[in-house]
Structure 1
Amino acid sequence: MKSLYIPKDVRRVFFGTLNTDRKLMFKKEFDTSYVGFMVDGAKWLVENTDIKLVGVVYLSIAAYVHSVQYHHVLLKSREIIRVEGLKLDGVPAGIYSLNCLPLRLVGSEASPIWCILIR
């Protein structure tokens, strides 16, 4: 994570991974070999950046074997929103304006959203 040089003033970041190249979102079965965050990566984000929203391409932001520990790190801070299941095919790396439009579900802790990137 440190090698990415995420500037202090960045608040939202989407990570493109090999999950896109492997077209995991189009497979019928859940693939436990997806690329996701490890616990140390989550801790680094919480402790060293001002990020408030993290997004990835696949159904979970945490690596399969680190899922519970990863979520504990992020939930402990209670400030970082996770966005999972993104489709970033053909989206070049860069700085974008982001709008997330959630579906309002009363009494729910999560919701499907539309994320719109504007260059």
Structure 2
Amino acid sequence: MRILDISPLITEASPVYPGDAPLSLSFVRSSQVCVGTLTMSAHLGAHVDAPQHLNRVGDVSEIALTELIGPCQVIERIGKKVITAEDLPSRLSARRVLIKTGFNRPCCWTNEFSYLSADAVAFLIEQGVKVIGIDTPSIDPAEDEKLPSHVLAIDAGILILENLKLSAVQAGEYELIALPLKIKGLEASPVRAVLIDQRSGESGSCI
């Protein structure tokens, strides 16, 4: 069994969507202890969107954890700017689907990343998917303020995981664990997302 950490490292230099808050750390220190305070966008790093992100009812404290723990299928679609329904397998092996696009995180924000078309999300809904994940900042293009893929997914009760780190993950089946913080009133939450690979004959971790 292997544990694959699919959460990117968050630093004060991590790029954020223009206007969002980057990570900022401050500390109060004494001779015995150090107490830190952090501020950052809830959408920085690997995170899950709750319905409240689109002004629907439901914040991250109300997310059913069972949705974010369980069998998962990783699909690789590297080199596709727009991932459509035709790019997805006709049959899926799990209700949780993560899409690896090969996105490499730059030092500064960029709008150039792969995303899901509305028909791809509609197809995943038809297949009974409950969690959609991607290794880019968003399942929608950065410049589309209507967020059509978000709307379809959230209105269908699907959870969205974004900014995952899938570069070291091969396509296939895994167990997903991606738990949000239990913060009342927050529309999204950072997650420490991991995949458990039961297929490997070697024990160990990649965290």
- Larger relative contact order, structure 1 or 2 (CA cutoff 8 Å, min sep 6): 2
TM-score, scaled to structure 1: 0.82
Note closer, same or farther for the CA distance 1:82–1:68 as it changes in structure 2 (3 Å cut). same
Higher strand fraction: Structure 1 or Structure 2? 2
2:51 is equivalent to residue 51 of structure 1: no
After superposition, the C-alpha distances for 1:53-106 in whole angstroms (9 at most, x for unaligned) are: 0110121112335552222211221x1100001001111111001111222222
Given that 2:102 and 2:167 are in contact with CA atoms closer than 8 Å, whether structure 1 keeps it comes out as: no
Counterpart code for 2:116? F
Aligned to 2:176: 98
Could you tell me which runs of 5 or more consecutive residues in structure 1 were left unpaired when the two chains were aligned: none
Aligned to 1:40: 119
Aligned to 2:195: 117
2:122 is equivalent to residue 14 of structure 1: no
Residue of 138, 145, 149 corresponding to 1:70: 149
Structure 1 residue 37 displacement after superposition: 0.6
Secondary structure, aligned partner of 2:172: coil
Higher CA-based Rg: 2
Percent identity between matched residues is 28
Equivalent pairs, count: 111
* Distance (Å, rounded) in 1 between the aligned partners of 2:147 and 2:169: 30
Aligned to 2:78: none
Secondary structure, aligned partner of 1:115: strand
TM-score, scaled to structure 2: 0.49
Structure 1 residue 5 displacement after superposition: 2.4
* Distance (Å, rounded) in 2 between the aligned partners of 1:64 and 1:101: 25
* Distance (Å, rounded) in 2 between the aligned partners of 1:34 and 1:71: 16
Given that 1:37 and 1:70 are in contact with CA atoms closer than 8 Å, whether structure 2 keeps it comes out as: yes
Secondary structure, aligned partner of 1:74: helix
> CA RMSD, aligned part only?
1.8
